[in-house]
Amino acid sequence: MPHPFQSERTAFLIYLRTEKQLSPRTEDAYARDLDKFLAYCASRELSDLNTITVHHVRESLASLHRKGLTGKSLRRWLSSLRAFFRFGIRRGWLKTNPADGLQAPRVEKKLPKVLDVDQAGQFVEVKDDSPLGKRDHALLELIYSSGLRLAETIGLNVSDLDLSDGAVIVTGKGNKTRQLPVGKPARAALKAWLQERQHIAPADEPALFISQRGKRLSHRAVQLRLQQLSLKQGMDEPVHPHMLRHSFASHMLESSSDLRLVQELLGHANISTTQVYTHLDFQHLAKVYDQAHPRAQKKK
């Protein structure tokens, strides 16, 4: 059975792409969430947006919950629906938002895993003089030095680097750009990689990090490479790109105690997103306290 509201769905996705300027990955996430609800509408033979009520949204939410969707996925699904209905109100398709007032199941906040300073140093210091070894060294040093997301890292072009000033221009979520400092070890690793890169990259390839074939690295290629490097570098568990970003944020906050600075460096739109690292910082302080304070140590 074909889904209803296909023209409205198409108009909404065009709006997300052109006016909101969301990335293709984010747009796809909205589309998948919306399609789940449109499939429900088809099963209930709902063909008029104004006939959709809070009861329908709640029933669809409960059905997805029973199918095993996590609280995090359900919250995103509900957020996508609210955005679609708000768009419908502006277009005159709807009078009220039937998703308003509904809440998805609570999500237990899990603190991101981080490496301590010594572990981070051990991981990023790749001692491999092969061309791809120098690429891997530069890649890890830059992610940890500047706290980059994976998509930001593989999206970098050579022209985004200014090693003389020790800076990199990064395009983050919503196509927002920010300029970030690049530390001395990362600059040295990048210079070594750029010397090798010129022998691999085609003249028309702008990407900073490329494969052995001279093409821009993919998300999956970097994830797999970090899994291999985790073993090679003697890490206790696999290190993924976001763990390096989390470690950067935690170490910066631990040293500076400046939450606004860390927010700006990470490119977070809301400081509430950055505040998770204050919990990590407190955990570190609590551990030091337990080890150092004479009244905190349990007597045997």
| Residue of 131, 171, 167 whose CA lies nearest to 153 | 171
Please, are residues 3 and 35 in contact by the beta-carbon 8 Å criterion?
A: yes
Angle subtended at Cα 164 by Cα 163 and Cα 166, rounded to the nearest 5 degrees: 55
pTM > 0.85: yes or no: no
Encode pLDDT of 44-64 as tens digits. Answer: 988 888 899 999 999 999 899
Encode pLDDT of 159-168 as tens digits. Answer: 999 999 899 9
Cα 198 off chain centre by: 30
Q: What is the CATH number of the domain that holds 252?
A: 1.10.443.10
Q: What is the CATH number of the domain that holds 10?
A: 1.10.150
Q: Are residues 21 and 156 in the same domain?
A: no
Please, are residues 259 and 271 in contact by the beta-carbon 8 Å criterion?
A: yes
Weakest mean pLDDT among 74-88, 158-172, 257-271: 257-271
- Residue whose entry in the numeric block shows the structure tokens 């993924």: 240
Q: Are residues 47 and 82 in the same domain?
A: yes
Tokens of 93: 């398709």
Helices of type H across 150-296: 150-154, 184-197, 219-232, 241-256, 259-266, 271-274, 276-292
Tokens of 142: 């830059």
Q: Are residues 168 and 236 in the same domain?
A: yes
Q: Does 139 score more than 80 pLDDT?
A: yes
Instruction: Output the pLDDT for position 88.
Output: 93
Backbone angles phi, psi at 245, to 5 degrees: -65, -45
Residues recognised as catalytic? 149, 173, 242, 245, 268, 277
Instruction: Output the pLDDT for position 90.
Output: 93
Instruction: Output the pLDDT for position 67.
Output: 87
Please, are residues 123 and 233 in contact by the beta-carbon 8 Å criterion?
A: yes
Tell me the pLDDT of the chain averaged across its residues: 86
Q: What is the mean pLDDT of residues 256-273?
A: 77
Q: Are residues 86 and 235 in the same domain?
A: no
Q: Is 105 part of any domain?
A: no
Which domain, by its residues, includes 30? 6-91
**Distance between CA atoms of 82 and 293, rounded to whole angstroms?**
50
Instruction: Output the pLDDT for position 103.
Output: 79
Weakest mean pLDDT among 5-9, 126-130, 264-268: 264-268
DSSP letter at 182 equals: -
Encode pLDDT of 215-248 as tens digits. Answer: 999 999 999 999 999 998 889 889 998 899 888 8
Q: Does 285 score more than 50 pLDDT?
A: no
Q: Is 61 part of any domain?
A: yes
What is the total count of domains within the chain? Answer: 2
Q: Are residues 42 and 173 in the same domain?
A: no
